[in-house]
Amino acid sequence: MMFVHPQTRLIAANEADREGRLTREGDVYIGRLPEMQSIANTAVNWAGVNWTMLVWPLPDDPRERAALMMHESWHRIQAEIGFPSTLSANDHLDTLEGRVWLQLEWNALLEALALEVDGRRQAAGEALIFRAHRRSLFPGAAEEERLMEMHEGLAEYTGVKLCGLPDGGLAGLLEGRLSSVRARPSFVRSFAYWSGPAYGLLLDGLKAGWRRELAAGDDLGDLLRKALAAEFPEDVSGEAERRAARYGSEALRKAEEEREAGRRKRIAEYKAFLVDGPILVIPLQKMNMQFNPSQVFPLEGHGAVYPTMRITDQWGILEVSGGALLSPDWKFVRVSAPEDIGGRPLRGRGWTMELDRRWTVAASGREGDLMIVQTNR
């Protein structure tokens, strides 16, 4: 495990690396992380070691601190235990209907967690109905959500489970988190941080040992349905609509309708300078990326906008503060065209780039569009 200070890039680690980049000082190993390596709470291979990297300082709250450390530790070993990293877009969770039915599912899960195990059946079953209805509205949604829950959801369940609280206090921890989760600007990359622990804790109460049987292809909702021995009604969507009012659907929908107007405005603004206007296309080859998952903004058929991000690759270092568009296949990133293609560093609307001398800017596609290409030097 290594702790990294984002401004000084100072490392404090609990074991030596394999390339001699760290120096032992007492019981820890000290060094400095290279500029080409991004700093984030993540798992990373560096200097011959597979590390859990954590950004210093850690949360003040001891439970949240422990949960973060265990979450990222799970990411470090997930491939070894049969759960390789899986990411998905989940753009539907930024739409009005996607957000409404996701939050209704959360409300029902929260009610189930607040009850004794024997009394959880109705609320847990209704959460599954809301989940099934939402997935019926968006083709491919079930698999996209499943992939994210098996990646970030299992990691956060691990963090919550091992944070140091007794099992009886874990539901309260999740309840306290929910208001801050709802306040995040986007759910597309962060929803599983709440739903994963919620489903995991419900399964703990219903089926001891479920984790030992878990496989990478499982769906947490399906596992809960089987543990409840629950059957879906014939008309899932109609039943979801009938039961929604009990979980605050009217107030939720009103709030989301107001948000939707703002979302449409942001879509138009981002399209104006990241799709329709002159752009710089940057290929991604050996990317190392740092970003805030709660800020990711889907852009209808074009990929996702990252309002802030840092990318290092063979061409250099890109720092974004005003929006960059990452393609759906993660093969390239777009920013607004630079102000001066001969300037160093390169600069544009809300971004700067330290460009390696072996790369340059060339014309691309539409008139005014540019791309980063490798030179023969």
Q: Has residue 166 been placed in a domain? A: yes
Question: What does the pLDDT read at residue 87?
Answer: 80
Q: Has residue 64 been placed in a domain? A: no
Together in a domain, 242 and 272: no
Q: How far apart are CA 116 and CA 169, in angstroms?
A: 13
Q: Has residue 270 been placed in a domain? A: yes
Per-chain mean pLDDT for the chain:
95
SS3 107: helix
Together in a domain, 176 and 319: no
The answer on pLDDT for 150 being more than 70 is yes
Query: Which residues in the chain belong to E strands, given as ranges?
Result: 2-4, 10-13, 23-25, 28-32, 42-46, 49-55, 279-283, 288-291, 297-298, 304-306, 309-313, 316-320, 324-326, 332-336, 346-348, 351-355, 359-363, 370-374
What does R_g of the chain's alpha carbons equal in angstroms? 23
Number of domains forming the structure of the chain? 3
Q: Has residue 81 been placed in a domain? A: no
Domain encompassing residue 206: 91-247
pTM of the model: 0.90
Together in a domain, 120 and 218: yes
For residues 310, 316, 322 and 327, what is the CA-based torsion angle, rounded to 10 degrees? -80
Mean pLDDT of 69-93: 95
Nearest partner of 223 among 239, 200, 240, 194, judged by Cα: 200
Question: What does the pLDDT read at residue 300?
Answer: 83
Q: How far apart are CA 361 and CA 375, in angstroms?
A: 9
The answer on pLDDT for 30 being more than 80 is yes
Together in a domain, 46 and 95: no
Q: Has residue 285 been placed in a domain? A: yes
Together in a domain, 142 and 237: yes
Q: Has residue 252 been placed in a domain? A: no
Together in a domain, 298 and 223: no
Q: Has residue 242 been placed in a domain? A: yes
Question: What does the pLDDT read at residue 377?
Answer: 61
Edge-to-edge order in the sheet of strand 351-355 = 288-291, 309-313, 316-320, 351-355, 346-348
